[in-house]
Structure 1
Amino acid sequence: MHVVVVAAVFAAVVVVVVVASLLKLSHLKHASPILTQIQPLAGPLEGGTLVTIEGSNLGLREEDVQGNIFIGEVLCKVHEYHVSVKITCRTGPAPALTSASQDMQFPVRVTTPAGTTRSTVKFTYTNVSVTGVWPTRGPVSGGTVLSISGRFLNVGSHVSAELDHLPCIVNKTQSSSHRLVCVTSRASGLTESGKEGEGLPATVKTLTVTVDGARRTLASPFIYTPDPKILELKPRHTPWSGGRLLTVHGTQLDAIQSPRITVLLHDHVLNSSMCRVLSHDQMECPSPCVNRAVLLAMLRERRGAPEAVPEPRAAARTSHKVSRSPRQNFGNSITLDVGFIMDNVASVRNLRHVLSSGARSLVYVLDPEYRSFPNGIKLYKGDTLVIEGENLNLASDDSDVNVTIGTKQCNVTSLALTQLVCTPPELQPPPTDELGRSTVLDLPLVVVRMGQNLRFPIGYLRYEMIKVCPVAR
């Protein structure tokens, strides 16, 4: 009896499932398509765009929709089909117009045996154009980021760019309707035969941008130059905090748009900073800052150095010399390799591999320490202003230091290890800091800046000069 009941229940469940399936099948056969999403909603006039249509009731088989998807009156050929819920089709070219610059908008129409549905949103046929490119030159190793200007450069389903036969890798996340961003490839064919650099600089004949079925070209858009070389770097001493302005000499430096200087330990980049190109053979780079504690920990791990590190103040008092070896005066100064990030130019990434001496390294030394005025205020009675401290000239000279009294300059005349001397303006400056912000004590603030990263507020300066009046005769 129990077995009979179980069998009856099972049979009832099967009947319910079959009936539900038949009802669903009947619904699919008789319900019109529902369109919930269409992407993309724009493409070139030439067609070739893969349009994805998502929704429900989109047929039970591909034959139900094959030849039945239109954008306006233009057939969209089925490219990929997922039963009932998703269709991908490729657009045909837009209808001919008297004006090629005119955009056209049409609804998407899907027909199945159950009926026809037109989308509420419209697909736009656009006339893609390319008008320019910047920069117009870059190294033969590639890596130059090009900005291609034009219109409707972000429409369609696929976009690519080529410099003659060389691909320029498109970055769609940085592109927009009026700008297409791509990265140049290495032009290896320009250096394969003969002497290195032979045939350079070389002008690219044609830039070709392909957006689905549209192809746009631009003549003579770009020049491949020889890779830049670094010849000299000075000065070579910098504080741990970095920011000292370094002058770099080399060749083809202006072929790089955003060069960066790096400091390395065993080919590991510790930090970098942006350089400013001045000409084809010169640029300026602030020295990168280096986290001294992290670096010393790395050195101890690699070399088995003792945990104890000399105190900076004590070491500075006992010796004025700067060690050029990591093993001497350990912790106070260290020599690190220098490299440059210049697009895809590998030869400058670590100058230790290409230069024997000079420009290949930087010596990092203790930061300068400028002492504040006693009680925060100093009386100025004429002549010069003396500011005291430690390690003041280990990695700086007169040109690296800027002293301001309020917003006025205090001209530096001398910089020694423990003392800076400057000449203040004749009259007491207004009571501000170096940015012109008012001070609480109604006195000008004295500030010492070393490079780009170090700022030392020294205190306030009060002028107390006795004016000598001429004696009448």
Structure 2
Amino acid sequence: MEGSVIFHILCLLLWFCFPDVTEGQNAYKCESLSSNEKDCSTCHYLNQSMGYECQWCQNTGCVDVDNNQCRQAETCGKPVVTKISPTDGPPEGGTEVTIEGFNFGVQSIVTVTVAGVPCNNVTFMDRKISCTTSNKSFDSTKKPEESGQVVVTVDGKNSSDDIQFTYKMPKITSIYPNQGILSGGRTIHLIGTNLNIGNMEYKVELTNVESSKSQVPVGCTIIRNLSLEWNITCKSKGAYDTGMYKLKVTFDTNTDVDNSLKFEYLPDPIIKSTEPTNLTSINSGGTNFNVIGEGFFAIDSLTVGVEDSEERDSICRILTQTKLECKYPRNRESEKRRKKRATRSNIVIYLDGFSHKFASGVLYVDDPLFSAFYNNVTYSFDPSVEDSIKLAGEHLATVTRRSDYLVLVGSAEGSILSLTETELVFRPLPKEPSPRVNEEKLFIRVKVGNLRQTVGIIEYPRRLDSTIVIIFVISVLIIVALVVLVTVLIHRRNQARKTRMIVNITKEMHDLN
């Protein structure tokens, strides 16, 4: 009964979709059902496997059986290959390829050869052929690759399209870095040629060169987003013994590349103590402490986090092979226990794959809190009158030191002169600094660890720009020079006039005599 209802509903839907269909006509068009107008196989597939009344005509393609334009239904021609993906792979095969085209048959006998060798496990998926390449023998010492045509055979008919597949021999030329600690976790880069080929399915293994030690291969987890055409990147796993390990890389499950490259596993670091012995931090973390030990070498990732937390937001840096400088992580417990002023949390240091929990834990105290500077009113700072500024607050020196603080005025750093539990004194630059990018005013900001606070705004007295002063002085000098020049010229003119008068009088007197 239920099936009958569904059938009638489908019939009604077909009637609404094709209202012009009359009795005895099909409620579909074979031209629309065939996704590729050139694919004869799809048309026959609709007829033989799906129950549609379709036929293939060379001049019209896939049409209804009662189409008047098709005088005689035809069988499919030879298969046509338009694309293969990927276009290359390692010589020992194992690469799964996808071949696109048409006329691949319906329930036909289909075989595929890639560069002259069989492609195994042929299957259909969405009218595409998938198969796995097999071994291609060629002398890789003379040539690193060899190409050949992709040929699909359907019921004895061969494709003749020039679609090529290339077998390439991968080669590893170097490994960097070539050392890591026993617990693993170091990022390794394998450099070479023809590495980004086939399905890019890699397997990297390291095996101890000493036969007396465990020969169980140690894996290296592939990091895909860092693997390029000339580079395979992986992260080493923990080993059983220290010593030298030989490298083997497998491409697409079948092609093994062995070489003389080695990777050395070193002993894990040893953590001995911390400086200071009693670890204390503000809740925001970020201030420094030191870790004392041995073997701080051949390590990439150095972080610290609160125990049982996935966040490792604090980093360390190697000072020497026996000393690290680390930053305290944020206190996650303070977010849960806001009423309790101090909490103690266990923290863990992570050095690549090695980890160590500090036995005593860290005592976290309240963050330093600065009061609004000058009651949130812009403060006028005149370096000719005063040389320092006082910032008031609380918990400023409970566990932090003067060296933990950084005070910025605009884009410039101020000099911290003194620090107490309730006051920080600093000296701004005597010359007005520039504001930070996208800011017009000079904000005072205080940084301590991960904590950032904007305390207030200051302004320097407005002074004449030195360029304006220079221009003014030069202008005055030019004016003075012009005045002097005009005065000299007038004086000379007057002198010349007097001289001429004297000459004329003298001449007249001489004439009278």
Normalising by structure 2, we get a TM-score of 0.65
Q: Structure 1 residues 159, 118: closer, same or farther in 2, change over 3 A? A: farther
Please point out which of 123, 138, 144 is paired with 2:186: 144
| 2:114–2:151 contact (8 Å) kept in structure 1 | yes
Aligned length, in residue pairs:
385
Give the aligned residue type for 2:324. M
Most deviating of 136-145 and 22-31: 22-31
| 2:140–2:169 contact (8 Å) kept in structure 1 | no
Structure 2 SS opposite 1:30:
coil
Match of 2:99 in 1: 53
Instruction: Note the C-alpha offset of 1:452.
Output: 4.4
Please point out which of 110, 121, 139 is paired with 1:65: 110
Instruction: Note the C-alpha offset of 1:226.
Output: 1.3
Q: Structure 1 residues 447, 268: closer, same or farther in 2, change over 3 A? A: closer
| 1:29–1:114 contact (8 Å) kept in structure 2 | no
Match of 2:346 in 1: 337
Unaligned ranges ≥5, structure 1 = 1-8, 10-16, 191-199, 297-308, 311-329, 465-473
Q: Is 1:246 the equivalent of 2:244?
A: no
Q: Structure 1 residues 55, 294: closer, same or farther in 2, change over 3 A? A: farther
Match of 2:369 in 1: 369
Instruction: Note the C-alpha offset of 1:274.
Output: 3.0
Q: Structure 1 residues 220, 99: closer, same or farther in 2, change over 3 A? A: closer
Match of 2:239 in 1: 187
Which structure's relative contact order is higher, taking Cα pairs within 8 Å and 6+ residues apart? Answer: 1
Aligned partners of 2:347 and 2:398: how far apart in 1? 19
Aligned partners of 1:423 and 1:291: how far apart in 2? 35
| 1:432–1:445 contact (8 Å) kept in structure 2 | no
Aligned partners of 1:257 and 1:412: how far apart in 2? 34
Q: Structure 1 residues 49, 280: closer, same or farther in 2, change over 3 A? A: same
Instruction: Note the C-alpha offset of 1:396.
Output: 1.2
Aligned partners of 2:408 and 2:300: how far apart in 1? 33
Match of 2:218 in 1: 166
Aligned partners of 1:18 and 1:275: how far apart in 2? 65
Instruction: Note the C-alpha offset of 1:43.
Output: 1.1
Give the aligned residue type for 1:379. F
Q: Is 1:209 the equivalent of 2:239?
A: no
| 1:175–1:181 contact (8 Å) kept in structure 2 | yes
Aligned partners of 2:93 and 2:439: how far apart in 1? 67
Q: Structure 1 residues 408, 144: closer, same or farther in 2, change over 3 A? A: closer
Q: Structure 1 residues 413, 338: closer, same or farther in 2, change over 3 A? A: same
Most deviating of 404-413 and 137-146: 404-413
Match of 2:88 in 1: 42
| 2:187–2:234 contact (8 Å) kept in structure 1 | yes
Aligned partners of 1:378 and 1:417: how far apart in 2? 26
Over alpha carbons, which structure has the higher Rg? Answer: 2
Deviations, residues 125-164 of structure 1 (Å, cap 9, x unaligned): 3231212222222121222221211122121234221112
Please give the residue correspondences for 1:15-30 in structure 2 after superposition, counting only pairs within 5 Å.
Answer: 20-21=47-48, 30=76
Aligned partners of 1:18 and 1:373: how far apart in 2? 82
Instruction: Note the C-alpha offset of 1:392.
Output: 0.7
| 2:186–2:299 contact (8 Å) kept in structure 1 | yes
Q: Is 1:460 the equivalent of 2:458?
A: yes
Match of 2:175 in 1: 133
Structure 1 SS opposite 2:397:
coil
| 2:333–2:345 contact (8 Å) kept in structure 1 | no
Aligned partners of 2:101 and 2:438: how far apart in 1? 65
Structure 2 SS opposite 1:389:
strand
Instruction: Note the C-alpha offset of 1:180.
Output: 0.8
Give the aligned residue type for 1:412. I
Structure 2 SS opposite 1:254:
coil
Normalising by structure 1, we get a TM-score of 0.70
Instruction: Note the C-alpha offset of 1:272.
Output: 3.2
Q: Structure 1 residues 37, 295: closer, same or farther in 2, change over 3 A? A: farther
Aligned partners of 2:167 and 2:256: how far apart in 1? 15
Deviations, residues 37-70 of structure 1 (Å, cap 9, x unaligned): 53321113454433333555435668x334xx23
Aligned partners of 2:224 and 2:46: how far apart in 1? 49
Q: Structure 1 residues 407, 120: closer, same or farther in 2, change over 3 A? A: same
Aligned partners of 1:19 and 1:183: how far apart in 2? 50
RMSD over equivalenced CA pairs, Å: 3.7
Match of 1:196 in 2: none
Aligned partners of 2:97 and 2:247: how far apart in 1? 27
Match of 2:62 in 1: none
Give the aligned residue type for 1:398. R
Aligned partners of 2:171 and 2:78: how far apart in 1? 39
Q: Is 1:450 the equivalent of 2:448?
A: yes
Aligned partners of 2:229 and 2:395: how far apart in 1? 55
Match of 1:400 in 2: 404
Give the aligned residue type for 1:111. T
Structure 2 SS opposite 1:275:
strand
Aligned partners of 1:389 and 1:203: how far apart in 2? 58
Give the aligned residue type for 1:454. R
Q: Structure 1 residues 420, 98: closer, same or farther in 2, change over 3 A? A: closer
Match of 2:381 in 1: 379
Q: Structure 1 residues 111, 438: closer, same or farther in 2, change over 3 A? A: closer
| 2:194–2:230 contact (8 Å) kept in structure 1 | yes
Q: Is 1:77 the equivalent of 2:119?
A: yes
Aligned partners of 1:139 and 1:18: how far apart in 2? 60
Most deviating of 137-146 and 120-129: 120-129
